[in-house]
Structures are given as structure tokens and as C-alpha cells.
Amino acid sequence: MWSNHINYHCIMRTHQLVLTWIENELSAGRLMVGGRLPAERSLAEQLAVSRTSVREAIRILEAMGVVRAGVGSGPEAGTVVISDPTAALGSALRLHVATQHLPVKDIVETRVLLESWAVSQASPDAPGLRNAAALLAGMDEPGLSVDEFLALDVQFHLALADAAGNAVVSAMMGSLRESIQGYAGRLTANLPDWAATASRLMAEHHQILDAITAHDGGRAAKLVAAHIEGYYQEAGLGPSA
């Protein structure tokens, strides 16, 4: 698609020219996270293109989680560079799931693969693990609604993924989660006895954390795989797809 390399001798659409310019600014370090792009009108004049084309490029970067656009004046305004890879990967995966060219089964399988690897690599003293333990404590609180429990569950698993210290794996895990979030939420309605399921999930969570703390990455990986696959099978993924 957009070649990283020389496009100068190729004809390219105007918004791709803008895109290439911005990407070069990023690569060269002249634009950094937290920095701001020139105003749309100004950038259009600089690159001798229309504001429309600049906007199309910015819209793409926004969808990719590379910039955030804000109206008005002040620190929250303007187009500022951020870095949210999960947003891009998540939207893309969700859209392709919608086209039914990415089976949910493959997404779950990939999630098992990545999360198993993450916990197998996690060091017991990784900074994120303390966070994970705190989340577990929060999930033990009585009187939590299903939605509250699931929200904490998502955060717990993301904390596990972060513990491996690989930003790409963390981003992919987050996007996989996001892409099937609606799907997983619907599955919950299939569960015959939510209280029983929740208590089983919590027991498994503690086992996983214990295995990591005990430096037993292999066991942690197996537990995570069983944990995830068990949930989806109980909720009815298995037979349908």
C-alpha cells in the first residue's frame, strides 16, 4: 500500500502526499508524541494542496491512533501527536470481523497464543503485576454487577499482557479484546449460572497470578490457555464457530 520508500517518482493521491510528509516528520524526529501538527489551513498552504486533502490524511492518522484532533483554542485544541496503536488495530480487526473474513475463532485462538506467551515471559516483579493483583482484589468485592466484573476482568487480562514488557504484544492483545468485546458481552447471556462462573474465573485468576509469582511461567501459560478457552466453550463459542 503506502510504500515507506521513495514515492516521489510515483503518482500518488494528494492525501497520501500529506501522509508521507507527516510520516517523514515523525521518522525524522521533528514531530514527536505530544507535539502538534501545523493547523490544517497552514499545512495545506505549506504543501500546496487543498485543506480537504490535508483533512483526509489527518482523518486516517486519527483512525490509526497517531493523532488526536481537538477544536477551539488552548492546550486541548489543535491536532496533536499521540500513540495509541491499540485503537488502530482494534478498529481494523473489528471491521474485518464484520466482513466475516476474520473468524472469531481465529481471534480467540490468537488471544490465547499471545496471552499465554505474555504470562510465560512475565517477571514476578514486573510493575504491572502489582496492578493486576489490585484488580483481583477489586473483583473479590461482593455486590459487583456483571458489567463491573467484566470491566475489571478486561483490565486484569490487559495487565497480564503488559507484564511481558512487549509493546506490540500489548497492543495486539488490547485490539483483539476490543474487536470481540461486543461478541463476548453477548456470550455472557448464555451462561447458566453467572455466580458460579465468576467464582471459578476468580479462582483461576489467583492460580495464574500465583504461578507467575512462583516463577513458573510454563504453568501460568497453561492455566491462561485453559482459562480463556474454558470460558468461551462454556459460553457457547465452540459449537457455533
Residues contributing to the site for DNA (CB under 7 A): 4-5, 8-9, 13-15, 37, 39-42, 44, 48-53, 55-56, 58, 69-79
Q: Which does 135 bind (CB under 5 to 8 A by kind): a second copy, DNA, none?
A: none
Least gap, CB of 93 to DNA (angstroms): 24
- How far apart, in whole angstroms, are the C-alpha atoms of residue 154 and residue 200? 16
Q: Which does 96 bind (CB under 5 to 8 A by kind): DNA, a second copy, none?
A: a second copy
DSSP character string of 161-180: HHTT--HHHHHHHHHHHHHT
Closest to DNA by CB, 23 or 109: 23
Is residue 181 involved in binding a second copy (CB under 8 A)? yes
Angle (CA) 144 148 152, round 5°: 110
CA dist 220 to 124, 163, 212, Å? 11, 13, 6
Q: Where are the alpha helices (DSSP H) in 64-216?
A: 85-98, 104-121, 127-140, 146-162, 167-179, 181-188, 194-213
Least gap, CB of 32 to DNA (angstroms): 17
Is residue 18 involved in binding a second copy (CB under 8 A)? no
Q: Which does 123 bind (CB under 5 to 8 A by kind): DNA, a second copy, none?
A: none
One of 117, 133, 146, 188 touching a second copy (CB under 8 A): 117
Give yes or no for a contact between 137 and 131, defined as CB atoms under 8 angstroms apart: no
Tell which residue, 183, 182, 160, 180, has the closest CA to residue 170.
Answer: 160
Q: How many CA atoms lie within 13 A of 153 on its CB side?
A: 24
Least gap, CB of 110 to a second copy (angstroms): 4
- How far apart, in whole angstroms, are the C-alpha atoms of residue 32 and residue 28? 9
Binding site for a second copy (CB under 8 A): 1-2, 4-5, 15, 23, 26-27, 29, 32-33, 52, 55-56, 59-61, 63-66, 81, 83, 85, 87-96, 98-103, 106-107, 109-110, 113-114, 117, 166-169, 171-172, 176, 181-182
